[in-house]
Structure 1
Amino acid sequence: MSDTPAIESKSIDWIPLDERRGKPSTLFPLWFMSNANLTTLATGMVGAALGASLLVSLLAIVSGVAVGTVFTAFHSAQGPQLGLPQMIQSRAQFGYRGVVIICAVVVFSIVGFNVFNQILAADVLTLTTGADLRELWFVVITGLALALAIYGYHWIHRFQTWLTWLFLATFGVFTVAALIGSQIDDSQFGFGGFTWAAFLVQFGAAAAYALGWAPYVSDYSRYLPPQTSPRKALFHTYAGVFVGATWLMALGALVAALFAGVSPIEAVKQAADGILPGSGTWLLVAALPGLVTVITVNIYAASLELITMVDSFRAVRPTRRLRIIACSVIAAAGLLGSSFSSGDFLANFGSFLVVLLYLLVPWTSVNLVDYYLVRRGRYAVREIFIPRGSVYGTWGWRGLAAYLIGIVAMVPFVVTVWYTGPIAAAMGGVDVALFVGLLVSAAAYVLMARSLDLDAEISKAEADSRDHGVEAVSFSGRVAPVET
């Protein structure tokens, strides 16, 4: 532990080679615990709230998480290769200032997630202590999460690894006991009353939850050595997200089938007490650290997005002090949001996830197509930090146009509580906007990227490598040799 710095100093700057360390296997516990929490469990109850049986919910959960995690995992593999935060790398597609639009969407989504995380954590404290001190609980939860976020990258990884063992010792036992001891109605294992609307809402919620990590997943792999195998980084990230999200969402669907109409917290408590009287309280207490650290993961990442936004219009020095201030601002935003929140948790959370999916799909499509198909992982790192006159431009019209085209193309296919697109309505409320957005944005970007001068970019990357010691990287996972 002595080699772990007290407080991280890096933020949006490139991670030098002499500070790179770690193994891709550390990504599994990080992303497993980031998903193994009560907010994920609540996501698995969305389908049941619309009348889906346990079997239908499980099919929607597994398929939704499987699809959403694909994109998240491929983004994670970019971190070791570039040594940059995800949104800084996105300047290559959207421009030095254009990326601010995407950053704003990401900050909105992260703060939104933290509002829901804090509501659940406060509900746990209220239920377990019997003290209805909601505002105080919000402050305590935010303070703990902020402190860990300030310590930064390496400490977050360590805490998530430790909490993995705590989770396995508590929720692992609870899951096995629930599967053995629960009496579930036979109708829950059939397709009676099946509706595409309920299936697709649960599918979309699961996919959006897994995809929600994509805009900042490489923030947590950027300290790994550039020699790290992209396939291993991808595998451990995929496995962590998929196992954690599927497990907890499936558990949520199970307790929803057992206790229809009950809040996520109360459902877990009743299920545990039914197995061993009095164990529900202790199980919820054991779940609290997981909620706190996922809030931490979000605060840390959103602080990088916030600094990126500021830096895009006024250059800043990425100091430790600036990162602490940015973390504090994001934490305060989540605290205010949770303090003023009201309404039904599941209804609001389900709607939030659907909107999040619509906003993130075109971005992930453009970013991945650019990285793996267009530029093939070769970027001039120094150029990404040049405000004007860089090879990537101030406003990346190709990326922004492809993003907007994807959003517009999805509108006729969307299904929300506020609006249903005409094509979706004609299809009986079936929501396929996810697939439309992915394909249209990717196709639009590939067509527009044909006008890029990639040879000039590669020459610039190689020149940076020779003149400044910044590596020109490729998807091979190896650092291009620096000529001396």
Structure 2
Amino acid sequence: MTPDTTTTPDTTTETPQGTLETRGIEPVPEAERTGHPRQLFWVWFAANISILGLPLGATLVAGTGLTVWQAVIVAAVGSVGSFAIVGAVSIAGRRGGAPGLTLSRAVFGARGNIGPTAVSLISRLGWETVNTTTAAFALLSLFTIVFATSPLATDHPVLTIACIAVFELLTVLVSGLGHAVLVAVQRWATWVFGALNLVVGGFLVATIDWSAVAAATPAPLGAMLAGISVIAAGTGIGWANASADISRYQAPAVRAGALVTSAAAGAGIPLVLLISLGSMLAAGDPSLAEAGDPVAAIRGMLPPWMAVPYLVAAFGGLLLSNHLSVYSAGLTTLTLGIRIPRVYAVVVDVVITFVGAIYFMLVADSFYGPFIAFISLLAVPITAWVGVFVVDMLHRHSYDPVALMDTGRTSAYWYRGGIEPRAVSAWALAIVVGYLFMGPLAGTWVGENGLGWIVTFVVAAGGYALMGGAKR
């Protein structure tokens, strides 16, 4: 029998960083790793200035009963803390010079890594569909203002599809070109759309019912813990398995602490501001937390003449988030074994989210509630992956570049039948435990306070360590 030595495409590409990144998932040569943490600060900042932070903050007040000041604390702990984990995982990208799910082959095995990779890709595509649908609603609202058309997507199916197409095209222009263009665009666009968000935020502050803010009764500690879980699962945890995709171009001499700080501060600053503002708005108007179209709900709080800059800011923030997500999804698609160049993988992912957005805007009766619930379910296996991966990082300071690209029996990461049994077992066990707290054990203190994801992390990390995963 001929040994299976299947490898991913363009593994011999040695094109340096330029306008078009032709490299796939193969490790970046050390000579081309010249990045610095300031680049990552802007990448994470840009990816988190979308308006989706406002309804997330509204949920803390309207959904869990927190006061605004409790919500601010929860926003800081949940977003900064979860993105500190993102920064910690990005250290592996600096060490190995490859995308996160590609490095994960060294941990789970060439075949055992298929599960975590598939979950990661589904999660990325899900959030991209959220971004695309929300941005298309924003663009549709702009047309409503300019041409006085109906705001309902179903009244203008052709226009709706065109709005989706514009957003997807602008996404491909950046994500398709690759790392160097992505880093540059995220940095400069942050100033433009960040400034617009500040202007819009200033007008939203004027609508806050400060008497309702002051009259709120503090919620118990358990509610704050549940809020931290909601914020962590909705922000940093979903990005953890994508962090190494960007940090793989970081210089080998970059300090680990600088990577953690760049992610925690870069994402934490805009998230704390947006989530806090959303909680203040919901103190006087809880309907924001339940809005089927958060773009329209927030627009209704602003003066009519502020609608255009607000919608532009909303569209731009979502676009910046989508740039990073689609870039990562393209690399994850290649890791899954799809044998096409990276730029084509980006196009495939965009086509999937294009079709998904059309369905949710023109066919489905509802979108945000059920879909966010589905994405939240995926946070359990992603958290389990993080637990195993982080423990493995404690001893693995380098990766075999040849073995990473060899998914056959000749690979040093083949282990037993292509599976590393300790890693896969710990991952699977943690998933089962995590879902128990969303099902049969949902009525326990842990389940009621949304702490199942923490138990998931502990079980994954602890189980892998006890089975010897933390040792050489």
TM-score band, normalised by the shorter chain? 0.7 to 0.9
Instruction: Determine the structure 2 residue equivalent to 1:404.
Output: 428
Q: d(CA) in 2 for partners of 1:383 and 1:437?
A: 29
Q: Does 1:95 align with 2:105?
A: no
Instruction: Please give the alpha-carbon distance, in whole angstroms, between the structure 2 residues aligned to 1:210 and 1:450.
Output: 25
Letter in 2 for 1:391: A
**Which residue does 1:357 correspond to in 2?**
379
In the TM superposition, what are the counterparts of 1:217-228 in structure 2 within 5 Å? 217-228=243-254
Instruction: Letter of the 1:271 partner, please give it.
Output: M
Question: Would the alpha carbon gap of residues 59 and 349 (structure 1) be closer, same or farther in structure 2, given more than 3 Å must change?
Answer: farther
Q: How far apart are 1:365 and its partner, in Å? A: 0.5
Pairs aligned (count): 432
Q: SS of the residue aligned with 1:256? A: helix
C-alpha displacement of 1:193: 7.9
Name the counterpart of 1:333: 352
Distance 1:451 1:244, change over 3 A: closer
Q: Give unmatched runs, 5+ long, in structure 2.
A: 1-15, 150-155
| Inter-partner Cα distance in structure 2 for 1:379 and 1:243 | 33
Change (3 A) 1:182 1:43: same
Distance 1:227 1:190 in 2: 52
Q: How far apart are the structure 1 equivalents of 2:450 and 2:195?
A: 39
Which deviations, in whole Å up to 9, do the C-alpha atoms of 1:331-377 show, x marking residues without a partner? 011111111123445423541343132121110010011002x33x2
Mapped to 2, the partners of 1:367 and 1:323 lie a distance apart of: 24
CA distance in 1, matches of 2:90, 2:441: 36
Q: CA deviation at 1:243?
A: 1.3
Residues 64 and 344 of structure 1: is their aligned pair in 2 closer, same or farther, counting only changes over 3 Å? farther
Whether 1:106 aligns to 2:120 is yes
**Which structure 2 residues correspond to residues 73-84 of structure 1 after superposition, within 5 A?**
73-84=87-98
| Pairing partner for 1:188 from 213, 233, 250 | 213
Q: Which among 26, 36, 39 is matched to residue 39 of structure 2?
A: 26
CA distance in structure 2 between the partners assigned to 1:381 and 1:296 by the alignment: 27
Identify the residue that residue 55 of structure 2 maps to in structure 1. 42
Indicate the residue corresponding to 2:300 in structure 1: 270
Equivalent residue number for residue 381 of structure 1: 401
CA distance, structure 2, for counterparts of residue 429 and residue 25 of structure 1: 39
Identify which of 100, 111, 123 aligns with 2:137: 123
2:237 to 192, 197, 211: 211
Closer, same or farther: CA 440–167 of 1 in aligned 2, 3 Å: same
User: Closer, same or farther in 2 for the Cα pair 1:34/1:137, shift >3 Å?
Assistant: same
* AA aligned opposite 1:348: P
**TM-score after normalising by structure 1:** 0.82
Which one-letter code corresponds to 2:412 in the other structure? Answer: V
- Could you tell me which of 394, 413, 419 is aligned with 2:437? 413
More deviation in 70-79 or 59-68?
59-68
Does structure 2 retain, via aligned residues, the 8 Å contact 1:205–1:350?
no
Work out whether residues 82 and 222 of structure 1, in 8 Å CA contact, stay in contact via their aligned partners in 2. Answer: yes
Does residue 366 in structure 1 map to residue 388 in structure 2?
yes
- The CA distance in 2 between the partners of 1:427 and 1:174, in whole Å, is 38
Instruction: Map 1:221-300; keep pairs closer than 5 Å.
Output: 221-262=247-288, 263=291, 264-273=294-303, 277-300=304-327
Q: Is contact 2:223-2:449 (8 Å) kept?
A: no
* Cα displacement (A) at 1:194: 3.7
Q: In 2, Cα distance between the equivalents of 1:71 and 1:302?
A: 20
- Do 1:30 and 1:157's aligned partners in 2 also have CA atoms closer than 8 Å? yes
1:158 aligns with 2:184: yes
RMSD value, Cα: 2.5
The alignment status of 1:430 with 2:449, answered yes or no, reads yes
CA distance in 2, matches of 1:368, 1:392: 18
Provide closer, same or farther for how the CA distance between residues 191 and 355 of structure 1 changes in structure 2, counting only shifts above 3 A.
Answer: farther
Assess if the C-alpha contact under 8 Å between 1:12 and 1:88 holds in 2: yes
Partner of 1:471: none
Task: Please point out which of 134, 157, 160 is paired with 1:134.
Answer: 160
Provide the rounded CA distance (Å) in 2 between the counterparts of 1:174 and 1:64: 24
Quote the Cα distance in structure 2 between the aligned partners of 1:105 and 1:350: 15
Q: CA separation in 1, counterparts of 2:37 and 2:470?
A: 36
Change (3 A) 1:383 1:226: same
In 2: Cα distance, 1:432 partner to 1:304 partner: 31
| Paired residue secondary structure (1:421) | coil
Match of 1:307? 334
CA contact (8 A) 1:72 1:217 kept: yes
**1:14-68 Cα shifts (integer Å, max 9, x gaps):** 1112322232111111100101112233322333442634424334322221332
Rounded Cα–Cα distance in structure 2 between residues aligned with 1:306 and 1:428: 33
Q: Which amino acid aligns with 1:334?
A: T
In the other structure, the counterpart of 2:170 is 144
Cα distance between partner residues in 2 of 1:428 and 1:23: 40
Aligned residue for 1:266, secondary structure, equals: helix
What are the ranges of 5 or more consecutive residues in structure 1 without an aligned counterpart?
A: 415-419, 455-484
Separation of aligned partners in 2, 1:445 and 1:385: 24
Q: Is the 8 A contact 1:255 1:268 kept in 2?
A: no
Is the CA contact 1:118–1:338 (under 8 Å) kept in the aligned structure 2?
A: yes
Q: Secondary structure at the match of 1:261?
A: helix
Where 1:272 maps in the other structure, the secondary structure is coil
Whether the 8 Å contact between 2:391 and 2:469 is mirrored in structure 1 is no
- SS across alignment from 2:121: helix
1:12 aligned partner: 25
Secondary structure at 1:364 match in 2: helix
- 1:297, distance to aligned residue in structure 2 (A): 1.4
Normalising by structure 2, we get a TM-score of 0.84
Letter in 2 for 1:163: A
Q: 2:67–2:219: 8 Å Cα contact kept in structure 1?
A: no
Point out the more displaced range, 145-154 or 277-286.
277-286
What amino acid sits opposite 2:448 in the alignment? Answer: G
